[in-house]
Chains A and B, each alone.
Chain A
Amino acid sequence: MARKVNAARNAITVALAILTLFSAGSIAATTTRCAEWVGAVRHLQIGVRDVQMRTENGPQVLVAFSFKNGSPASVELEKFDVYLYVGSRFVGTNYVPFTRRRIDSYEATTIEIVVPISSPHQAFVEQVRQEEEDFSWFVHGRAKVLFPSFFRQETWLNVREHWAGE
């Protein structure tokens, strides 16, 4: 009887050892992937992808942004501030308060923001648009992103300076 009990205990010990091997592999894989993710999000950047003029609902500019340098993981976007210039002249801004939006794939995510051209500048924009052939927008701004969980910290990503033709 004692021998059977001892054999059963040894069997449990062996089973536990096998489970331990799987667990050790899982710990190593999880920790490594998490560390890589933290490194990737710290190098995240955001840039202007496209700028288009719209006139249907009054003069406004649609600016499309996309993430760069990110690995597939998730962050949350909370705010976006955009400043729009024609040449060196400021013509409009938009502070966009997002309902926290989860970004799961940096490469595929494009954020579109409408910047209304403020009325004192509308005539100027229209005049420049008609007169100058190399009419171009200058966009800059910043996005507030949150890293989830205990890495949750607010970080403002600066939009890289961008000139865009109409």
Chain B
Amino acid sequence: MSENARACANSICCGIVLANLAISSCSPFEKFAPLPLTVMWLYVGAFACGLVLGITLDDAKQMLYGVGSMALVAVLIFGGALIYIAWSNKATSYDTISLLAFQQSFVRFVFISILGGVGAFCATVLKLVFSGEL
């Protein structure tokens, strides 16, 4: 598998996994989730996904784009799910839901990006340590 293809596939996969964690740990959804989680799992998941991207990718630029894409995919799915619920029910609180979807999505995007970046950085350091370059 080429580096670019792996970077792309892993970023999207991590984004979907994080979107699931974000939805399962979000208060409106959690009671409907097959596996309800606390929000701490989202942070742990973001860090773990950053580690995975850091381990599987070598190029720093790819890692940077990968973490950004992962966070973007996650919040697009998360925000999309909230909007879908409002839209499918023509909810009277449509505007409230949309606003909250935006707020919650933005907060999650920031957290996922930061923790994903930290995870990728840690993975890079670990690789350098194990290869004897550091």
Residue numbers of A with Cβ under 8 A of B are 9-10, 12-13, 16-17, 19-20, 22-24, 26-27, 29-31, 33-35, 37-39, 42, 73-74, 148-151, 153
Contacts of B55 in A (CB 8 A): 9, 12
User: Which residue of A12, A16, A151, A153 contacts B28 across the interface (Cβ within 8 Å)?
Assistant: A151
Q: Are B56 and A74 in contact (CB under 8 A)?
A: no
What are 24 A-to-B residue pairs whose CB atoms are below 8 Å? A9-B55, A9-B56, A13-B13, A16-B14, A17-B9, A20-B13, A20-B17, A23-B17, A23-B19, A27-B19, A29-B33, A30-B32, A31-B23, A34-B32, A34-B81, A35-B88, A38-B91, A39-B88, A42-B92, A73-B31, A149-B27, A150-B28, A151-B28, A153-B92
- Asked whether B69 is an interface residue with its Cβ less than 8 Å from the other chain, the reply is no
Query: Quick check: B13 and A27 within 8 Å, CB to CB?
Result: no
Question: Out of A16, A27, A33, which one reaches B77, CB within 8 Å?
Answer: A27
B52 at the interface (CB under 8 A from A): yes
Given contact pairs A17-B13, A34-B32, A39 touches B24 in the complex (Cβ within 8 A): no
A30 to B31, CA, bound (A): 9
Identify which of residues 82-120 in chain B touch chain A, using a CB-to-CB cut-off of 8 Å: 84-85, 88-89, 91-93, 96-97, 100, 104
Collect the chain A residues with CB atoms within 8 Å of residue B1's CB.
9-10, 13
Report how many A-B pairs have Cβ atoms within 8 Å.
Answer: 102
Question: Does residue B124 face the partner (Cβ distance < 8 Å to A)?
Answer: no
Q: A-side binding surface: helix, strand, loop or mixed?
A: helix
- In the complex, A33→B28 CA distance in Å? 11
Roughly how many angstroms separate A24 CA and B80 CA in the complex, as a whole number? 13
Q: B19 touching A150 by the CB < 8 A rule?
A: no
